[in-house]
Amino acid sequence: MKRRKQDERLTVPVALAPSGDPVALAKALIACESITPARGEVFDVLEAALIPLGFDVDRFVVGEAPDGPVENLLAVRGSGGRHFAFAGHLDVVPPGSGWASDPFVPQVRGELLHGRGAVDMKGAIAAFVAAAAVTPADAGTISLIITGDEEGPAVFGTRALIDRMTARGIAPDLCLVGEPTSVNALGDMIKIGRRGSVNIWIEVQGRQGHVAYPHLADNPIPRLVAMLAEIEAITLDTGTDWFQPSNIEITDLTVGNPATNVIPAKASARLSIRFNDQHRGEALAARIEAIAKRHAPSANVTAKISGEAFLTPPGEFSALIAAAIEAATGCAPELSTTGGTSDARFLSALCPTVEFGLVNATMHKLDEAVALADLDKLSAIYADILIRVLQPAII
C-alpha cells in the first residue's frame, strides 16, 4: 500500500472514535473482526485515529500464503529529540464458541469492556493513542509499530516493519511493547526480557515388518526412545539473576501404527525448548541433532527458532517506566522475564525494549475483558512515560 499523509481523508466503514478517548477507540478496534493475520478495516480505524494527531501513516501488505499476506502500519510524528516507539498488534486469536455476547461486538457489562482483543492488545493500542493525543506535538519523535500478525507465524509482521524502518532510516531510542504484562493489578509487572524458543522435529526411519520376524525388520522406536531419554536428562542451566532455568519439553511422540502385529517403518517426536540468555537457538538445535544422529544416523532433524532470548538490563528505561507506574498506582512493579515470547524478541535488536500493558488474566479466553478504569489509567501512565522520555527536564 502507498503511504498516506496526514492531510489525506479516509473513509472508515465503522464509527470513528475520538483519538483521546481510549474506551471509545478500544470499542471501535474490537468491532473489527481481525483474526490473525489481520488486514483492512481494523487498520483503517487506527489510521483514522492517528491522522488528526499529526502522524504520517505508512501502511503496507507483505507476504504470500501460507504465512501471509500480512498488513503492517508504521506511524511517525515529529522529528529530532529523543525517539520513543510504541509497538503492538491488531490481530487477535480466534474467539472460539461459548461467549456470553458476540466477541466482535464490544459490550460494557458493569465496569468491564468485553470483546476479543480487549486486553491483547487493542486496549493498550487505544490507550497509547490517547496518550499521544495529550502529548505536545513538538515534544519529540513518537512512532507506532503495529502489525497484523503477532498471534500467528509472525514471519511478515514485526520483522517486515523493522526492515521498513531500516530502509527509511527510522531508529527509535527506546521501545515499549504494549503486551498485557500485569498479573493481578495494572502495573504490578513489567517485562524486561523474554526467553527464547526453538521447536525441533525428529523423525527416525526404520523398516516395516512382522513382529514375529524382527530380524527381517528394523524397529525405529527403541532408537527414538533412547535419544529422548538422553535429551530428557539434560540440565541446560540453573537459571540466572533475571531468568528461570531453561527447559526442554517433549511435546509430541507419534508412531501412528494401527496394527498390533506390525513393526512400524518410522517414529517421530517433537521438542520445545525455552531458553534464557545463556544460549542461542542454533547451538541448542545443533546439540539435539548430534544426540539424535548418534542414536540414529539417518534421523531427520528439523528446527525452527521462533526467537532468541533477550534482556534489557535494569537501568534508566525500566526505572523511568516504574516511576510512572508508581506515580499512578502507588505500587512499584516487579521486573520480570517470565512468560512466552512476544515481538519484543525482534524489536530488542533495535534499541532497549520493555513490555508493559494491561492485566493478562483474560487474554485468549472466553469473554476477554478489560476494566474501563484500567484503560483510562493506562492512558495516563503512557502519557507520563512519554513526557518522562521526551521531556525529562520538566519532570
CB-based contact 219:263 (threshold 8 Å)? yes
Q: What is the DSSP track for 178-243?
A: ----BSSSTTSEEESEE-EEEEEEEEEE-B-EETT-GGGSB-SHHHHHHHHHHHHT-------SSS
Distance CA 305, CA 126 (A): 31
CB atoms inside a 10 Å sphere around CB 315: 10
How far is residue 366 from each of residues 28, 95, 181, 328, 369, measured CA to CA in Å? 20, 7, 19, 30, 9
Distance CA 383, CA 305 (A): 36
What's the sign of the alpha-carbon dihedral 167, 168, 173, 178?
negative
Which cell numbers in the block locate residue 300? 531427520
Distance CA 109, CA 140 (A): 39
Question: Which pairing describes strands 262-263 and 209-210: parallel, antiparallel, or unpaired?
Answer: antiparallel
The CB-side HSE value for 190 (13 A sphere, CA atoms) comes to 29
How far is residue 235 from each of residues 59, 193, 215, 238, measured CA to CA in Å? 45, 22, 37, 8
308 carries an active-site annotation: no
Q: Which residues of 159-190 are buried (b: 16+ CB within 10 A; e: fewer)?
A: bbbbebbeeeebebbbbbbbbbbbeeebbbbb
Distance CA 51, CA 321 (A): 27
Helices 22-30, 41-50: inter-axial angle, 10-degree rounding: 160
91 carries an active-site annotation: yes
Catalytic option among 58, 71, 91, 368: 91
Catalytic option among 150, 151, 179, 308: 150
- Partners of 113 in the β-ladder: 108, 370
Question: Which pairing describes strands 141-147 and 83-89: parallel, antiparallel, or unpaired?
Answer: parallel
Q: What is the C-alpha radius of gyration for the chain, rounded to an integer number of angstroms?
A: 24
* H, E, C per residue of 230-258: HHHCCCCCCCCCCCCCCEEEEEEEECCCC
Count of residues for the chain?
A: 395
Q: Would you name the residues annotated as active-site residues?
A: 91, 150
